[in-house]
Amino acid sequence: MKTWIGLMSGTSMDGIDAILVSFDGQKIQVHNTHTTPYPDDIRQRLFNLSQNRGTPDDIGELDHTVGSLFALAAATVIEKSGFQASSVTAIGSHGQTLRHHPDSATPFSLQIGDPTIIAERTGVTTVADFRRRDLAAGGEGAPLVPAFHKTFFSVAGEDRCILNLGGIANITHLPADKNEPVTGFDTGPANALMDAWCLDQTGRAFDKDGSWAEEGEVNQALLGDMLSDAYFLRQPPKSTGTEKFNLEWIKTQLRRHSELSGADVQRSLLELTAVSVAQQLPQATGMTIFACGGGAKNRALMGALQRTCGPARIASTADLGLDPQWVEPAAFAWLASQTLSGKPGNLPEVTGARGKRILGAVYYV
């Protein structure tokens, strides 16, 4: 039995999720999981860099520090599982995204978390830097998880949508007819704006269960202004990140709405996530939406999605056998297995690349 580790830290920059898994056809066996939180000072420095506030020294130092934390997360999940490092085939590390600019004149996506440190400290072959080959082939470099969704969650005769609610929301439509192409793209913000506003206004890193948002009311004028952003109107393939949807974006939107309470803004941001997802869903009768990512734990957001996305049914990827927190880490474990098998990891119909590509760079031990 081959085992794989997936390491993931998303746009929320709250920590590193590590999963130890094995794959058998369309089945995923989870052997163990572990989360290594970022220390507050590291998270703040990462956020500063993501907003272009920093120096080359900062990037180099954090590349080393984050790589060390990724290595620690991998080593810890191995220890917790009772496995030996020598029995792990490879680690797939997403890294920590600092900037994602697929639409610039010189497209790029920058992740840090030195994979050589991960390989050296764990003694396990490490695959990293998954996004750049797709970008070089003319793609967005994101989202990459739809290929994983297609492999493990697609069922003939049933329309499914996998909705990942991280800092950014992305959807994967798995059509009932397997002859139809899978589609997937970033719909816009999920937790990124709510987290940024909550931290700015309350000092809390996130709004647990959406309880603060529930104290406010949706301001339809603000919601309309936010939904008029050109990103929501763009046709896929498309991807985005916190370099666009951030605290400054909120404050720009609020210039005409300075009278609103903090809770009203939070409630409107929650509604923005729900409505922007609903407006961009594929039209499919009897579709079930399986949510994953941190936003799947936000009770108020899940309620808003059920209201805005009806008649589609809202469920959790736990119903498909994989806890919402561990879908993306498992995806990068699988992407590592694809790379080492010489198989492509992207879906050109999703990213817009010129064709299927083997993704990532391999650091052998």
Residue list, annotated binding site: 10-17
What distance in Å separates the CA atoms of residue 336 and residue 333, rounded to the nearest whole number? 5
What distance in Å separates the CA atoms of residue 90 and residue 223, rounded to the nearest whole number? 45
CB of 47 within 8 A of CB of 56?
Answer: no
What distance in Å separates the CA atoms of residue 348 and residue 179, rounded to the nearest whole number? 15
Buried b (16+ CB within 10 A) or exposed e, 223-240: bebbeebeebeeebbbbb
CB of 306 within 8 A of CB of 195?
Answer: no
Q: Kindly state the tokens that stand for 292.
A: 């994953």
Q: What is the DSSP letter of 208?
A: G
Q: Which residues pair with 17 in a beta bridge?
A: 8, 35
Q: What is the DSSP letter of 326?
A: G
Residue 131 burial class via C-beta count within 10 angstroms: exposed 0-12, middle 13-18, buried 19 and up: buried
Q: Which residues pair with 21 in a beta bridge?
A: 4, 30
Binding-site residue ranges for ATP = 10-17
What distance in Å separates the CA atoms of residue 54 and residue 60, rounded to the nearest whole number? 11
